[in-house]
Amino acid sequence: MKKLISVTLVALLLTVALLLTVAFFANGATEAKKADGITTLTWAMWDKDSTAYYQPLIDAFEAENPDIKIEMLDLGSADYSTMLQTQLSGGDDSIDVVTIKDIPGYNNHVKANLLENLNSYIEKSGVDTGAYNGIPEQITVNGNLYALPFRSDFWVIFYNKDLFDAAGVEYPTNDMTFEEYDALARKMTSGVGANKVYGAHYHTWRSAIQLFGILDGKHKITDGGDYSYLKPYYEMVLAEQKDGVCMDYASLKTSSTHYSGVFYNNSVAMMNMGSWYIATLIKQIESGNTEVKNWGIVKYPHAEGVEPGSTLGTITTLGISKASKNKDAAWKFVEFVTGEKGANVVASTGTFPAMSNDAIRETVSSIEGFPTDQNSVDALETANVYLEMPLHDKAGEIEVVLNQAHDEIMTGSTTVDAGLKKMGTEVDKILAK
C-alpha cells in the first residue's frame, strides 16, 4: 500500500512538474523577448529568402536600436493573408509587426480588430503622412490609421527608344494628355506580320484600361451608379484595337500572351505597366533575354486639367498586432521601415518604397541599368497615387463584376454603353446588400 502511495505521489509530482514546464515554455516566447535588456520583435512577412530588402532593413534598424532585435516569421506567399489572420485571431501575442499584403487583407484585419490604432503613435512621433502621396487618406477607417505604407508600385509608360529613333518620332513626355498619347501611339504603328510594330499595348487586366477613368480623383471604382466616366477610355482603346494600333484583346486572352514578351521582342513602342517591371526589365537585359536594349519611362497620360504624375498604385503596409506586448518597440520598427531611412534602404535594392522624395528617387534612378535620361528620372515623381482597388468591405464582389464587364466590352460581346450600364446595375445590387 505504501509502495502504491509512493508511486502515485511520484506520478503526481511529475505531472505537476510537467505542467509547470509547459507553462514556463508557453510564457517563454514573451519572456525571452525582453531578456538581458533586449526586446525581440517578431516580424510577419512572406518570401523571406527571395526578398532583397528584408535583411538590409533589419540590419539598418538594429544598428540604430541595439536594444531591439528583429526575428522574421515567414508565413509563405500563397495564403499569407489567411495564415496571418488565423494566427492573429487566436490571440497569439508572439507576432509584433505585421506586413499587410494588400487592401482586402488590410480591410479584413481591421474589421477583425487585429491591428493597433496608430493615430496616437503617429501624432506623438510627428510622422508626416503627406509624404506618402495621399495613400494614408485612402486607408483611413473612421478617422483611424491602422498601418503605414511600406512599399508601393505605380503605373508608368514604358517605351522602346530604338523603335522611336527608327521611326524618326520624338519620345513621349511626362506631360501627355490622353489625346496626345493616342496620337503618338498611332504615329508609332507600322508594318505587317513579323515586322508589325504596335504603337501601344494593353494587358488583359482591367486596370490597364478601366482605371484611366479614376485619375482625375473624382471617382472610385467601387462607387457604383454611373460608370459613364470610363466611356472615353474604352472608346479610345477599342478604336486603337480596330485600327491595329494595339493587339486584339480576345487574341491576347486566348493565347495567354504575357505583357513582357511583346515588349521584349520589339513588337510594342509603348506599354502602360507597373513600376515593378523596371527591375525585371533591367535583369532581363543583363541576362540577354530581350531584344530591347534602349528604353525609357514617362509618367502616365492624363485627362485635360488633371495634374501630370497622377497614377494608379498598389501598396504594402506595416502595422502592429493588437495582441503584441511590445507595441512601443514595434512602433519604433514600423516608423523606421516606413520612414525616410527605411525607404532609402528599400530603394537601394531596386524596390519602390511608399515614401518618395528627391533622395529616394535618386537612389532608384542610380541603379545600374536604369535609363539615364532626365525624363525617366522625373517619371519616378508622382503627384497623386490612386489605389487600383480602394478600401471597401465588398471589394471582392465588386471586382468580379468589373472584370466581367471589362471582358465583355473588350471582346465585343456587348457595347460600351450596355457594359457600363450593367456594371452600375450589378455593383449597386452588391452595395445594397
pLDDT digits (tens, 9 = 90+) for 84-103: 999 999 888 999 999 999 88
Distance CA 30, CA 40 (A): 9
Q: What is the structure's pLDDT at 316?
A: 93
Domain interval for residue 228: 154-312+384-432
139: confidence class by pLDDT, cuts 50, 70, 90: very high
Out of 129-138, 238-247, 413-422, pick the least confident. 129-138
- The string of pLDDT tens digits covering residues 243-263 is 999 999 999 989 888 888 889
Which position has the higher pLDDT, 66 or 34?
66
Residue 425 lies in a domain: yes
Geometric angle at alpha carbon 138, from 338 and 332, rounded to 5°: 20
Q: What is the structure's pLDDT at 357?
A: 84
329: confidence class by pLDDT, cuts 50, 70, 90: very high
Q: Is the domain of 330 the same as that of 398?
A: no
Residue 162 lies in a domain: yes
Q: Is the domain of 187 the same as that of 141?
A: no
Q: What is the structure's pLDDT at 35?
A: 64
Q: Is the domain of 214 the same as that of 87?
A: no
Residue 10 lies in a domain: no
Residue 378 carries which DSSP code?
A: H
Q: Is the domain of 178 the same as that of 193?
A: yes
Looking at the whole model, is its pTM more than 0.85?
no
Residue 25 lies in a domain: no
Contact 378, 296 (CB under 8 A): no
Distance CA 412, CA 301 (A): 25
Residue 268 has pLDDT above 60, yes or no: yes
Q: Is the domain of 345 the same as that of 424?
A: no
- The pLDDT of 362-384, averaged and rounded, is 92
Structurally, the chain folds into a number of domains equal to 2
CATH for 164: 3.40.190.10
- Judged by DSSP in three states, 156 sits in strand
Contact 68, 62 (CB under 8 A): yes
Q: Is the domain of 227 the same as that of 259?
A: yes
Residue 18 has pLDDT above 80, yes or no: no
Residue 15 has pLDDT above 60, yes or no: no
Residue 374 has pLDDT above 90, yes or no: yes
Distance CA 308, CA 302 (A): 6
Q: Is the domain of 46 the same as that of 149?
A: yes
Residue 17 has pLDDT above 60, yes or no: no
Q: Is the domain of 320 the same as that of 308?
A: no
Distance CA 58, CA 42 (A): 11
- The string of pLDDT tens digits covering residues 202-217 is 999 999 999 999 999 9
Q: What CA–CA distances, in Å, run from 71 to 29, 47, 213? A: 12, 14, 43
Residue 2 has pLDDT above 60, yes or no: no
Q: Is the domain of 191 the same as that of 326?
A: no
Residue 38 lies in a domain: yes
Q: Is the domain of 128 the same as that of 186?
A: no
- Judged by DSSP in three states, 197 sits in strand
Nearest-10 Cα torsion for 232, 234, 237, 238: -120
Q: What CA–CA distances, in Å, run from 264 to 41, 159, 200, 259, 305? A: 43, 11, 14, 9, 34
Residue 95 lies in a domain: yes
Residue 377 has pLDDT above 90, yes or no: yes
- The string of pLDDT tens digits covering residues 144-189 is 999 999 998 899 999 999 999 999 999 999 999 999 999 999 999 9
Q: What is the structure's pLDDT at 22?
A: 33
Contact 284, 175 (CB under 8 A): no
Q: What totals of helices (H) and strands (E) does the chain contain, helices first?
A: 20, 8
Distance CA 3, CA 248 (A): 89
Contact 60, 341 (CB under 8 A): yes
CA 398 to chain centre: 19
- The string of pLDDT tens digits covering residues 104-128 is 889 889 999 999 999 999 999 999 9
Q: Is the domain of 234 the same as that of 336?
A: no
Residue 116 lies in a domain: yes
Which position has the higher pLDDT, 383 or 28?
383
Handedness of CA 236, 242, 247, 249 (dihedral sign): positive
Q: Is the domain of 132 the same as that of 162?
A: no
Distance CA 269, CA 188 (A): 7
Residue 243 lies in a domain: yes
